[in-house]
A and B are shown apart, each in its own frame.
Chain A
Amino acid sequence: MASSQQAVAVKDAAPRLRVEQASFAYSATDRSAPAFSLGPISFEAHRREMVSILGPNASGKSTLLRLIAGVLRPLSGRIEVDGAEVTALEMRLRAQRIALVSQESELLFPLRVWEYVLQGRYPYGRRLRFESSDDCVLAGNALAQVGADPLRDRWMDQISGGEKQRVILARAMAQQPSLLLLDEPTQHLDIGGKLELLRRLRRLADENRYTVIVVTHELNLAAEFSDRIVLMHRGKCLRVGAPAEVYERGLIEEVFEAPVEVEIRPSGRPRVVLRG
């Protein structure tokens, strides 16, 4: 028993995502973006881990996420997923490893929920492809895992915002990715919705052995649900580690420019409250 657990532990120990000295800069001549530089940043993430990239606005969190997604090419350094450099992968291969979960879905023409989720199978097979029964099974499983199975025959424009978010997540899961990336997914949700989403992500990370990377500025939710935090401030990564390690009062105050108190709760996870 112990040895197989050890074997599992060893396997899980090899990092799924490795960011090595990655840096980026928007060029000074590109007037649509502020002159801004990022990095160099290094950290690792493992299977079944949920990592939060945390920081205030304009700290470079979204840029880092796009570097990880392979949308942007780092100026220096490497980003690897399962040992392969992200920008070197062909687009469809990359989509088989990395799934970016978007916020909205601007549909032009009516589409059913199951059709939408089935589109997640695009990276597999030929360009002009027809879905196989395996594809349907995988899409169905994804829907079931997010609890959206009863919605499968509904039209996308007829479901609620929260239901739509689950469906979008299901499509990303249908890609069978190693890495699941989300950019501020809790933005438009109320506190109940936020908790539900993060609990779900946590569970899926465990069940499907995903590595989940979430960009957020919500201090306490990140502390509650993440295994590791990457703390960003003005394009620099100030600290990487477990929430309790990263949430140092002085550090938080410097980054978020607000007077705070940091408490450690019985679970071992920190909580941040405003002081005074």
Chain B
Amino acid sequence: MRPLTPKRIIGSCAILCAVLFVAVVFSLRTGAYPISIRDIVLTLFHGIIGRRDQVPSEFWSVVFTIRLPRIALAILVGAALSTAGAGFQALLRNPLADPYVLGVSSGAALGAILSLIFAPHTVGAIQVAAFIGAGLTIAAVYFLGRRGGQLDSATLLLAGIVAASFLSAIIMFLMTTITGHELRGMAFWLMGDLSAPPPASNVLGWFGFLFLAFFIAAGAIYSTSSDLNLILTGEQEARHLGVNVNRVKLVVYVAASVLTGLAVSVSGAIGYVGLLVPHVMRMLFGSDYRMLIPASAIGGAVAIVFADMLARTIVAPTELPVGAMTAVAGAPVFIYLMRRRVR
């Protein structure tokens, strides 16, 4: 009997972080602009010590306005989607749940469309509108997904599916009646894309805000991980053991939806990550949510950083949307996992 200890969790996370570090290094090296690893390191170093004048302006541009923000975004989005996916799989008691099943991505897409119609040239409008769209969908599905005043897994799932279909129908309607160059960007939202530059000129503030939001929401889910372990053996049994099941469900629902809304608002709907990373992490580290949540977060970051790197190199100089890569890589992994379960 070797129960999970904080030390083991940190040890496993350290290994995953090392993998993430390698992925980041590879990703920093990837790009059409010819710059050596040595120059990248020097640029980073001079940036950190505040000597921007020592760096050729093009090196600076490539490293700090193109590659690094993109990598940071990949880490954030991968971590957010995978953590949300793990949370939803517990909340909905369904191993096939992914973060988009409750309609949050459709709400964000609708917000994005409306911002493209009404404010196509306002920087940052698309992210704000998408997040508002996501938030409204979260609230609506919450109220639809209750049964007897409490969140019920089956009702929540149905409410989410209905919301997603309804919103998609509205999106289709808008796309056919208001077609034009304003909606060129919709492929982005349906596939997921990391190439958007930070909408705020204060890059530090932007990423600081995003990562702070991520840690708050992910931390909220993590605080319920003991509860989730019990809930996964049966809701009534968990209640009898003293778990406040209703409160836990609400916390996980809101936090996981916020994570999903955050990710979709800044990068569109990148698929498969939220579904598959938690399963792969379960295979490697077990189903204990105290380990699974941080493992999924870091694992998801690794997955998206690698997928983005591939998306930029496979048919260079053209870039594929990262969602295309996750779909292509994700489908075989999914099939493999399905077969393992059957056996």
The chain B residue sitting closest to A102, CB to CB, is B237
Q: Binary interface profile of A, 115-141, with partner B (CB < 8 Å = 1, else 0)?
A: 110111011000111110001100110
Among A87-95, A186-194, A220-228, A254-262, the stretch in contact with B: A87-95
Q: Report the minimum CB–CB distance from B337 to chain A (whole Å).
A: 12
The answer to whether A108 touches B95, judged by C-beta atoms less than 8 angstroms apart, is: yes
Q: Binary interface profile of A, 42-58, with partner B (CB < 8 Å = 1, else 0)?
A: 00000000000000000
Interface centre among B1, B234, B287 (most CB of A within 10 A): B1
Interface centre among A94, A95, A115, A175 (most CB of B within 10 A): A115
B244, CB-defined interface residue at 8 Å: yes
Cβ–Cβ < 8 Å partners of B155 in chain A: none
B226, CB-defined interface residue at 8 Å: yes
A69, CB-defined interface residue at 8 Å: yes
Q: Report the minimum CB–CB distance from A221 to chain B (whole Å).
A: 24
The answer to whether A123 touches B233, judged by C-beta atoms less than 8 angstroms apart, is: no
Cβ–Cβ < 8 Å partners of B224 in chain A: 127-128
Cβ–Cβ < 8 Å partners of A98 in chain B: 240
Which residues of chain B from 226 to 280 have any CB-CB distance to chain A below 8 Å in the complex?
226-227, 229-230, 232-234, 236-237, 239-244
Q: Report the minimum CB–CB distance from A168 to chain B (whole Å).
A: 9
**Chain B interface residue count, Cβ-Cβ cutoff 8 angstroms:** 31
**Chain A interface residue count, Cβ-Cβ cutoff 8 angstroms:** 39
Cβ–Cβ < 8 Å partners of A175 in chain B: 241
Cβ–Cβ < 8 Å partners of B1 in chain A: 114, 118, 136, 139-140, 152
Contact surface of A with B, Cβ cutoff 8 Å: 69, 71, 91-96, 98-100, 102, 104-111, 114-116, 118-120, 122-123, 127-131, 135-136, 139-140, 152, 175
Contact surface of B with A, Cβ cutoff 8 Å: 1, 3-6, 90, 93, 95, 222-227, 229-230, 232-234, 236-237, 239-244, 282, 287-288, 290
A-B pairs with beta carbons under 8 Å apart, 19 shown = A91-B242, A94-B242, A100-B237, A102-B234, A102-B240, A106-B234, A107-B232, A107-B233, A108-B90, A108-B232, A109-B232, A119-B241, A122-B230, A122-B241, A127-B224, A128-B224, A128-B225, A128-B226, A130-B6
